[in-house]
């Protein structure tokens, strides 16, 4: 369990989205290479994911690498992919620990667009942790919200062409059911550190009614206390979903 006291929240978000931003600036501030920021960022992903479970959150989706991030310098992209590979190999080694902690790991994004070895590791980690149900940690890799919606539309078109569904069956639920997040509640809360206040193509369909929480802290400095601040702010929000 956690080393810090977790308040008895009246309401806890079921699904939290986290945009892990500010790694590069964190490194630059210290005169380090950007890659060092990503290494620290990856550590935070583990820490905050586990802490979220202690807080009673059932699902966290972390934005790790977008479909647009491929345009970064090759050395940086390679370093991030190497970090994923390290993380996945480690996750396979720690499968017993994840079982004990009840951590299920999944990936959102186009796996076909990443290195086949990485793809295979992702599938393996998903398979090995499938039965764990204390918390689900989704890592969005090679993910883009528009790409995700386009993929769902294409799938619906295919099913329609094959006569499996009627035009009337193409509704909001049918689209939600064909997203990576199928079956999950929409994110109640989206956290973006590092001072930016935009969604950047993250869960754009699912975030229709999400609450947002921003902070100036750079992701590698993001602490459990910051996560609690976000949960406290969420607790005070009045969610009306278009109602009065």
The residues binding ligand FPP (CB under 6 A) are 20-25, 38, 41-42, 45, 64-65, 69, 80, 83-84, 87, 139
The sign of the CA dihedral 118, 122, 128, 129 is positive
Is 201 assigned a catalytic role?
no
Q: How far apart are CA 119 and CA 128, in angstroms?
A: 14
User: Which among 3, 54, 69, 112 is annotated as catalytic?
Assistant: 69
3-class DSSP state for residue 127? helix
In angstroms, give the least distance from the CB of 242 to ligand FPP: 32
Pick the closer one to ligand FPP by CB: 143 or 234.
143
Q: Of the candidates 33, 3, 37, 11, which has an alpha carbon nearest to the alpha carbon of residue 224?
A: 3
Q: Which is nearer to ligand FPP, 25 or 101 (CB)?
A: 25
Residue 196, token pair as written in the block: 């930016």
Q: Would you say 180 and 17 are in contact if contact means Cβ atoms under 8 Å apart?
A: no
CB of 20 to ligand FPP, least distance (A): 4
Cβ-based nearer residue to ligand FPP, 35 or 210:
35
Residue nearest ligand FPP (C-beta atom): 24
The sign of the dihedral angle between the CA atoms of 177, 59, 8, 209 is: negative
- Catalytic: 69? yes
Question: Mind telling me the catalytic residues?
Answer: 21, 69
């Amino acid at each position: 369990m956690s080393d810090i006291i977790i308040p008895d929240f009246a309401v806890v978000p079921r699904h939290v989205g986290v945009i892990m931003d500010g790694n590069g600036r964190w490194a630059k501030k210290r005169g380090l290479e950007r890659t060092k920021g990503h290494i620290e960022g990856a550590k935070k992903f583990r820490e905050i994911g586990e802490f979220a479970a202690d807080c009673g959150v059932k699902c966290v989706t972390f934005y790790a690498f977008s479909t647009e991030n491929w345009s970064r310098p090759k050395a940086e992209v390679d370093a991030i992919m190497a970090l994923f590979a390290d993380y996945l190999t480690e996750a396979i080694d720690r499968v017993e620990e994840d079982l004990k902690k009840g951590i299920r790991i999944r990936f959102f994004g186009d796996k076909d667009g990443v290195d086949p070895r990485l793809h295979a590791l992702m599938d393996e980690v998903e398979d090995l942790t499938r039965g764990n149900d204390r918390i689900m940690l989704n890592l969005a890799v090679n993910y883009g919200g528009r790409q995700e919606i386009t993929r769902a539309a294409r799938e619906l078109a295919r099913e329609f062409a094959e006569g499996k569904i009627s035009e009337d069956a193409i509704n909001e639920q049918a689209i939600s059911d064909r997203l990576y997040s199928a079956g999950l509640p929409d994110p109640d809360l989206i956290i973006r550190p590092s001072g930016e206040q935009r969604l950047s193509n993250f869960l754009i369909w699912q975030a229709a009614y999400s609450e947002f929480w921003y902070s100036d802290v750079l992701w590698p400095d993001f602490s459990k206390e910051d996560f609690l601040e976000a949960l406290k702010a969420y607790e005070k929000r009045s969610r009306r979903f278009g109602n009065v």
